Amino acid sequence: MTCKNCGNNFEGNFCNNCGQSSKVSRIDFKFLVHEIPNSVFQLNRGFFYTIKELCVRPGSGIRDYLAGKRKRFYKPIAYLLITSALYILTAHLMGINTFIADLFAGFMRGLGVQEQSYGVEIINWILKNQTYLTLLFIPLFSLASYIAFKNYKYNYVEHFVLNLYVTGQQMLIYLILSFVITKDNTLIIFPIALSMTYNIWTYIQFFDKKHISKLIRILLTYILYLIEIFLILFVIAGFLEKTK
């Protein structure tokens, strides 16, 4: 058999020179229907399995991933990028703000920042690129969790992966609840409370040592994270004050 990709003669299901499958069919509508989800989003390579694991046994599933059982899991950064993009796109199509947008909008109003200032332009850019902002916040939360759970066996990068999956799943929570909770709804705080509860539940499962100090360490994680956020907001506030 001759490989249609590199011209190599081979036997079997895959070319031993370039690795292309021997079963290369003509591109038609059926090909596109199969190729869009499988090649663009690679949904056949663990996306729905990852959703299921993060819904049913999030802490245990992530611990399995870090232990080396990774073949069936969707990659953590890709998972977060897809779920956050779906949430932001849904919020845009529904004409509602995401939580991060409301947070920064309230922050600007509290500072009394002028609408035409350079600082507002920066904030507006952030709001239009919230996926990047989410990725920037995760290292901060990972640093907080790493410090709080310092005497456990996980390094900082493993904490980063843990929080990538947690945040990705939180984006799905926001996505689902965005259909029933609007900005004027009295339950607007519910998605945030639910996402924090999910985070706590995941951490309790993930850190498998059965000890009451886990709850204290989770609380410490949030305290350290808030300190980091306040320090950053303090720096931003100082910058925005200069732009008035």
pLDDT tens, residue by residue, 105-133: 555 555 555 554 555 555 555 555 556 67
- Distance CA(4)–CA(22), nearest Å, equals 8
Q: Would you state the structure tokens that stand for residue 177, as one six-digit string?
A: 């609840």
pLDDT digits (tens, 9 = 90+) for 64-112: 999 999 888 998 998 998 898 888 788 777 766 555 555 555 555 555 5
The larger pLDDT score, comparing residue 137 to residue 188, is at 137
Residue 9, strand partner residues: 2
Q: Is the pLDDT of residue 205 over 90?
A: yes
Predicted TM-score (pTM) of this structure: 0.74
The larger pLDDT score, comparing residue 5 to residue 36, is at 5
The larger pLDDT score, comparing residue 232 to residue 166, is at 166
Please, how many CA atoms are within 13 Å of residue 13, restricted to the half-sphere of its CB? 0
Q: Is the pLDDT of residue 177 over 80?
A: yes
Q: Is the pLDDT of residue 199 over 90?
A: yes
Q: What is the mean pLDDT of the chain?
A: 78
The larger pLDDT score, comparing residue 29 to residue 23, is at 23
- Distance CA(85)–CA(21), nearest Å, equals 32
Q: In sequence order, which residues have a C-beta less than 8 Å from that of residue 138 and are 6 or more positions away?
A: 80, 160, 163, 164, 167
Are 160 and 139 in contact by the 8 Å Cβ rule? The answer is: yes
Is residue 29 very low, low, confident or very high in pLDDT (cuts 50, 70, 90)? low
**Confidence (pLDDT) at 31:** 55
Is residue 61 very low, low, confident or very high in pLDDT (cuts 50, 70, 90)? very high
Average pLDDT over residues 202-209: 88
**Confidence (pLDDT) at 139:** 93
Are 206 and 62 in contact by the 8 Å Cβ rule? The answer is: yes
The larger pLDDT score, comparing residue 227 to residue 13, is at 227
**Confidence (pLDDT) at 158:** 95
H helices then E strands: how many in the chain?
A: 10, 0
Q: What percent of the chain has pLDDT over 70?
A: 66
Is residue 167 very low, low, confident or very high in pLDDT (cuts 50, 70, 90)? very high
Please, how many CA atoms are within 13 Å of residue 237, restricted to the half-sphere of its CB? 12
Q: Is the pLDDT of residue 169 over 90?
A: yes
- Distance CA(137)–CA(171), nearest Å, equals 14
- Distance CA(129)–CA(98), nearest Å, equals 12
- Distance CA(211)–CA(57), nearest Å, equals 19
Q: Which among 182, 163, 166, 186 is positioned nearest to 90, based on CA atoms? A: 182
Q: In sequence order, which residues have a C-beta less than 8 Å from that of residue 218 and are 6 or more positions away?
A: 148, 200, 203, 204
